[in-house]
Structure 1
């Protein structure tokens, strides 16, 4: 019995991080609700793979999907409100934009910089 030498070797990833890099579930589309069931001016809460997420519309009507946990005190952003196309946390009034960036912290002095850890994870909507 002989083995052909021209058969390519198949290499499988042995590290879980290699597998995660090839398929990032955040870059895939998933139906979560019917568009007509989304509230017009309120956040919509849902979970995907046990991660709490929130959908809302910005001023242009574009759907925005962010992590549904405020980085300040872990309150649900979906319990908050939409103000000028930004989602506002009900707890302390932190506001977040389209990409999850924290745009406003009422308690922060006007000349202070918003810390990077105040940002949220965004997911394509």
Structure 2
């Protein structure tokens, strides 16, 4: 079980206590963290994260390249698979929508790329 994150902070219940993430919610949160964090940016686990921030925002195969990077980031999380991606890009930024599948159900993760080799976003 994990603590549920919301807008970059702990999600709290009506008593102000941290909420737990379980089942599908937990799996999707773990996947989102792996997709949003640039690979190598977390000191305690240099393999955690994705290379989505390196995605070149041009070309006809943009969705396919984004899917490959998402699948690479999720390889260490076998309970979650990236099924498809859709990239909405401008020359300055892009939003990558990743469709995720787990045994507990499906969901989506959104990664915002700011065009400076960085990701913007909260879990």
TM range (shorter): under 0.3
More strand by share: 2
| TM-score when normalising by structure 1 | 0.26
| TM-score when normalising by structure 2 | 0.26
Structure with higher RCO (Cα < 8 A, 6+ apart): 2
Greater Cα radius of gyration, structure 1 or 2:
1
